[in-house]
Structure 1
Amino acid sequence: MARHIFRCPLRWADMDAFGHVNNVAFLRYLEEARIDFMFRLAPGEGSASFTGGSVVARHEIDYLRPLVHRHEPVVIETWVTDIKTASMTVRYEVKDEDALYARASTIVVPYNLAKKQPRRITPEEKEFLEKFRDDEGIVAA
């Protein structure tokens, strides 16, 4: 099982009045990691996977400790735990070498932008996702 690694920079604007990353910024971090995984990495593997679009059906985040501003990026590990006919569950860990800041999951639905409707996962997309599948990697917060 492989995990996709994304190094996400922290921005000064992500901080709240208490000096740590605002909860909304975490959703942007997860989006950046997911886009890097689905839209950059997949074509890099010779696939046109997910280039037609996708939508988020659900987000779930467990915040484990505050993340304060610093100049070093935070690491977001991304993998897949569930692949269905027309959706997938993407899991994340937001961390660095010292701490785990959040665990999260997103249900993503492939979407046909031209027809304005959900679509099924193609066999090619499923083959790509299987490389990053790990049902054993789920750890309770």
Structure 2
Amino acid sequence: MTDKHRFVYDAALRWSDMDAYGHVNNARFLTLYEEARVALFFVAAREARVSFERGIVIARHEIDYLRPVDYGDAVRIEMWVAEIRASSFTVAYELIDDGVVASRARSVCVPFDLAGQRPRRLSADERAFLEPFRPPGDGS
């Protein structure tokens, strides 16, 4: 069952995602997670009249591979905000294949001033956009 605090993204699998064994290559999991982040921070945020286009960089990724993912039409990625700080936030993900969690991951995201080439603080609008994706009792 999908939690109301999660953003859900259906990611299409491509033939190029496969490794020699017919599974999704481990590095491609990060690409699939990136697609979900882009859908949240640049598509859904824009629809909510919030923009992360000033910049975000990834400071850290961690990923657990729980089972292989075979080639198929799509996987579902559920993501939420595990922690919000003044100048960073952590996104948590689950990649679900045929109803089973195949991978869990976390990314530490840092708002970044692209023009000044330095980290920046989250704006009030960005924080307000992220809050609904933070389950009660999590993080900050």
1:21 deviates by 0.5
Q: Aligned letter for 1:117?
A: R
- State TM-score, norm by structure 1: 0.91
CA distance in 1, matches of 2:71, 2:123: 40
Structure 1: state its 5+ residue gaps: none
- Residue from 43, 48, 52 that aligns with 2:46: 43
1:75 deviates by 0.3
1:33 deviates by 0.4
1:97 deviates by 4.4
- State TM-score, norm by structure 2: 0.92
Q: List per-residue Cα deviations over 1:19-78 (Å, max 9, x = no partner).
A: 100100001001110111111111111222x111110000000100000001x2100001
Q: Aligned letter for 1:10?
A: L
Report the secondary structure of 1:61's partner residue: strand
CA 54–92 in structure 1, closer or farther in 2 if over 3 Å, else same: same
Structure 2: state its 5+ residue gaps: none
CA 82–59 in structure 1, closer or farther in 2 if over 3 Å, else same: same
Aligned-pair RMSD on alpha carbons? 1.6
Aligned ranges 1:43-62 → 2 under 5 Å: 43-48=46-51, 50-62=52-64
Contact 1:82 1:135 in 2 (8 A): no
CA distance in 2, matches of 1:16, 1:136: 39
Q: List per-residue Cα deviations over 1:97-121 (Å, max 9, x = no partner).
A: 4311100000000111100111000
**Where has structure 1 moved over 3 Å in runs of 4 or more?**
135-138
Contact 2:82 2:92 in 1 (8 A): yes
Q: How many residue pairs get matched? A: 136
CA distance in 2, matches of 1:112, 1:32: 22
Q: Does 1:86 pair with 2:102?
A: no
